[in-house]
């Protein structure tokens, strides 16, 4: 009997240790991320929150227009 193949998929991929914010260009250990690849740091998110969220539960990606959760629900 052969051993099972290693599982591959999105849930097995590791996140990058550091991410670059698309707004300020700085490198952070945590950035909000959209599926299209857009990343925004917490500071820029707070500064631009008024234009990116209308309900405080989701935020809209400025690149692709997709809705993303803030993880508070």
pLDDT, tens digit, 9 for 90 and up, residues 18-60: 899 999 999 999 999 999 999 999 999 999 999 999 898 999 9
Between the CA atoms of 25, 46, 41 and 66, what dihedral angle is there, to the nearest 10 degrees? -100
pTM as predicted: 0.70
Q: How many CA atoms lie within 13 A of 4 on its CB side?
A: 3
Alpha-carbon distance of 73 to 70, in angstroms, equals: 8
- DSSP structural state of residue 49: H
Task: Choose between 12 and 29: higher pLDDT.
Answer: 29
Helices (H) and strands (E) in the chain, counts: 1, 6
């Amino acid at each position: 009997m052969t051993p099972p193949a290693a599982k591959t998929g999105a849930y097995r991929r590791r996140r990058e240790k550091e991410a670059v914010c698309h707004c300020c260009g700085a490198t952070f250990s945590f950035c909000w991320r959209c599926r299209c690849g857009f990343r925004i740091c917490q500071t820029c998110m707070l500064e631009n929150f008024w234009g990116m969220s209308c309900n405080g539960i989701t935020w809209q990606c400025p690149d692709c227009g997709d809705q993303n959760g803030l993880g508070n629900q």
